[in-house]
Amino acid sequence: QQNRAEKDIEKIQSAFNFAAGLHEGQYRASEEPYILHPLEVACILADLQADTDTICAALLHDTLEDTETSPEAIKSRFGAAVLTLVNGVTKLSKFSFSSKEERQAENFRKMFLAMADDIRIIFLKLADRLHNMRTLNYMKPEKQKEIAKETIEIFVPLANRLGMGLVKTELEDLSLRYSNPEKYFEIAQLVAQAKAERDNTIRTIIEKIDNNLKAMNIEASITGRAKSYYSIFSKMHRKQMTYQDLYDITAVRVIVDNEKECYEVLGLIHSAFKPIPGRFKDYIAMPKNNLYRSLHTSVIGPRGKPLEVQIRTQE
Ligand code: MN
């Protein structure tokens, strides 16, 4: 996978074989062989370009807790660094969210970060949680609600703080699905219905600014962005918006090659469409705490409907 060295691939292969042997005969609530869980966790981390020790630890992350193996066995096969990561995840999984003094989410997050002396342990724990959320439909409804609540209160803020935007969004949407299924499916349906209109809007925008982009020699990729279900849901709560208001919001993302072009595209969009006052945010000049950088603006788009625009570089 990717540019991993031969010896790293062998180490990962060997961690997989070792874990598969240990989990032999164990099954998930889905009735699938247990090893598929650590394998999926490892794949999530591989997609995030995690290093080889983290991938090995992902494959081994449930072996100390759920199988007969010993810390020494892991250390002698895969080294002290991998053992530290596996120990870290095991320690965090024993942490009980249910006790009273730990219930304060903010305290819990702080404790959690303090307990993980290596930030890779948090990445492992988040990938573990993400796969457990993806397979939550095999749990009982009360358990689903409990886990969804814990995810939104503890794991989403952690993913956000670490700048793991895609993981954060998927955890949010999955939490909503299990904590408030009616709202979730209602929003999902509206978003699906709005797709044709969204595609139309994108075409209109491209038509309006394409000539200028060419004249300025800017290579821009403009895509429609379906807002996440959770962001629609929370916007509805915060701003007392109706479904209809939200249905009308289209979001687009423009990707260009460098920062200078971000501002040039912003200028083009503001001259083609009327900006909505107070909605421009320059996260390039002033990055968010998690180092997120992008320009955000809202304008009155085609057919007089609000249009949210994000402009950023690939980086
Ligand atoms: Mn696990």
For ligand 1, the distance from its centroid to the CA atom of residue 304, given in whole angstroms, is: 48
Contacts of residue 216, defined as CB under 8 A and 6 or more positions apart, other chains included, come to 264, 268
Mean pLDDT of the chain: 89
- Angle, helix 119-134 to helix 80-93, in steps of 10 degrees: 50
Give the residue numbers annotated as catalytic, written as ranges: 65-66
For ligand 1, the distance from its centroid to the CA atom of residue 197, given in whole angstroms, is: 41
φ/ψ (deg, to 5) at 70 = -115, 160
Per-residue DSSP letter, 151: I
Q: pLDDT tens, 55-109?
A: 999 999 999 999 999 999 999 999 999 999 999 999 888 776 655 555 566 776 7
HEC secondary structure over 165-230: HHHHHHHHHHHHHHHCHHHHHHHHHHHHHCHHHHHHHHHHHHHHHHHHHHHCCCCCEEEECCCCHH
φ/ψ (deg, to 5) at 33 = -55, 140
For ligand 1, the distance from its centroid to the CA atom of residue 312, given in whole angstroms, is: 35
CB burial of residue 216 (10 Å; 0-12, 13-18, 19+) = middle
Q: Contact at 8 Å (CB) between 38 and 58?
A: yes
Per-residue DSSP letter, 27: B
Query: Which pLDDT value is given to residue 239?
Result: 72
For ligand 1, the distance from its centroid to the CA atom of residue 17, given in whole angstroms, is: 17
* pTM assigned to the model: 0.84
Q: pLDDT tens, 185-196?
A: 988 888 887 777
CB burial of residue 113 (10 Å; 0-12, 13-18, 19+) = middle
HEC secondary structure over 50-96: CCHHHHHHHHHCCHHHHCCCCHHHHHHHHCHHHHHHHHHHHHHHCCC
For ligand 1, the distance from its centroid to the CA atom of residue 182, given in whole angstroms, is: 28
Q: pLDDT tens, 110-137?
A: 767 766 778 899 999 999 999 999 999 9
